[in-house]
């Protein structure tokens, strides 16, 4: 039913012969009124939800800042976790550990994810069987994006930590799995120099955990220089050498030494064990579907006319992808990568499964197979303790984690904008 109101619509132009002046004529219906009401209610609902989210976030930030601001000191950023003295406990090893793990995650997930997206979007098959295979892969990638991260943690535990025990089992105080390079095995023996001075004897048989030195043998000092280790027998009546340098190259007859290993930063073994390398690769599994889907959406946003123009100039498929599609989609790909890395640095569940909940570590990783502590695991540990000091430390650590996350995102956004301008 048509009604007449005083609210002007359509510029207020009245039909000829109605008698209304310009700007005083409008026609509305019950249906249009209802639609306008629903539209306004939906707008108010969106505003309310957005405001509620901002208020909740603000309350959380204020609460965390109020509880943890007193612990935002240099000790928090420089020291390591302390069981005996929580007042001086810090999170420096966890900051270094999180950065190393995120680095491994980015190096493995981003190239693989972007490459997969390019293959799925730019090199779509034409035959029916391959089309079905393409759809099957696409469906599985979409489903994997919704899998809980702890499931990826269990997968990483079997795949990277133990490698299904194909290369041997990780055991305490024994040679682990199959060592590839970056490690040297010795026996460590006390010399006559005293003060804990030791010499190293190359270990030929790794199954022999100890050695008893009864005769001169080849040894090396801490600088790696080889020399012949002398023996002093107290029962022979020969006086103990008095020269300090000779004492450093002499051991008592029958002196027992234990196994000792020196590793380089590139030490690598199979399986990886509870190492930051295994944790980083596990996190790459978590974010890989996100990177693939975001990169696919970015590639789909590239106008087809750009590709057609490239083909028209005689470019090949690969040249079109490299010079046209990928540069045009790079800002969108960077956006997906930023979101994915933001999720990776805050993940605790897969790290707990792969590395465990230990936080007693005083430094960052020394080699590829070294264990690390991450910020989410340290926060999880501190937040579960009853002492008020650890509760404050947990709140302060959350602030540091947010700051590190914002810093990483800022750098990534800057790079994205720079690429877009270029």
pLDDT tens profile 133-161: 999 999 999 888 888 999 999 999 999 99
CA 353-357-362 angle, to 5 degrees, is 130
351 to each of 106, 151, 201, 243, how far by Cα in Å? 16, 11, 38, 53
Whether the bond between 271 and the residue before it is cis, its omega within 30 degrees of 0, is yes
Given a cut of 60, is residue 346 above it in pLDDT?
yes
Please give the structure tokens belonging to residue 254.
Answer: 């029958």
- On average, the pLDDT of the chain sits at 86
Region of poorest pLDDT, from 16-25, 196-205, 263-272: 16-25
Q: How far apart are CA 320 and CA 298, in angstroms?
A: 15
Mean pLDDT of 230-253: 86
Q: What is the pLDDT of residue 51?
A: 95
Mean pLDDT of 281-310: 93
Torsion angles phi and psi, residue 406, rounded to 5: -65, -35
pLDDT classification of 3: cutoffs 50, 70, 90? very low
pLDDT classification of 7: cutoffs 50, 70, 90? very low
């Amino acid at each position: 039913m048509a009604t007449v109101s005083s609210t002007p619509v359509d510029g207020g132009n009245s039909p000829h012969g109605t008698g209304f002046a310009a700007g005083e004529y409008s026609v509305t219906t019950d249906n249009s009124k209802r639609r306008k009401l629903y539209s306004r209610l939906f707008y108010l609902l969106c505003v309310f939800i957005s405001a509620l989210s901002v208020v909740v976030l603000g309350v959380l930030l204020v609460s965390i800042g109020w509880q943890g601001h007193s612990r935002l000191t240099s000790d928090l950023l420089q020291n390591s976790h302390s069981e005996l003295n929580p007042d001086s406990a810090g999170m420096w090893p966890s900051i270094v550990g999180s950065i190393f793990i995120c680095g491994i995650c980015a190096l493995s997930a981003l190239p693989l994810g972007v490459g997969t997206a390019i293959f799925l979007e730019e090199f779509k098959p034409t035959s029916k069987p391959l089309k079905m295979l393409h759809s099957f892969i696409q469906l599985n990638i979409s489903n994997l994006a919704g899998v809980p991260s702890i499931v990826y943690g269990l997968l990483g535990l079997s795949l990277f930590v133990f490698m299904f025990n194909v290369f041997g089992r990780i055991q305490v105080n024994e040679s682990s799995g199959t060592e590839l390079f970056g490690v040297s095995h010795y026996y460590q023996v006390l010399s006559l120099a005293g003060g804990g001075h030791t010499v190293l004897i190359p270990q030929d048989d790794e199954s022999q955990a100890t050695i008893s030195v009864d005769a001169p043998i080849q040894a090396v000092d801490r600088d790696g220089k080889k020399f012949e280790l002398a023996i002093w027998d107290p029962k022979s009546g020969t006086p103990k050498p008095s020269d300090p340098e000779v004492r450093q190259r002499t051991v008592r007859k029958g002196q027992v030494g234990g196994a000792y290993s020196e590793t380089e930063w590139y030490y690598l073994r199979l399986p990886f064990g509870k190492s930051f390398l295994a944790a980083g690769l596990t996190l790459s599994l978590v974010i890989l579907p996100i990177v693939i889907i975001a990169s696919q959406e970015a590639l789909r946003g590239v106008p087809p006319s750009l590709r057609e123009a490239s083909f028209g100039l005689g470019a090949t498929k690969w040249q079109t992808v490299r010079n046209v599609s990928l540069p045009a989609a790079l800002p969108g790909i960077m956006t997906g990568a930023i979101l994915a890395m933001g999720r990776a640095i805050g993940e605790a569940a897969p790290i707990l499964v792969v590395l465990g909940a230990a936080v007693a570590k005083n430094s960052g990783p020394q080699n590829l197979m070294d264990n690390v502590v991450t910020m989410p695991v340290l926060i999880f540990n501190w937040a579960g303790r009853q002492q008020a000091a650890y509760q404050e430390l947990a709140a302060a650590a959350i602030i540091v984690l947010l700051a590190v996350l914002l810093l990483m995102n800022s750098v990534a956004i800057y790079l994205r904008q720079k690429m877009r301008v270029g």
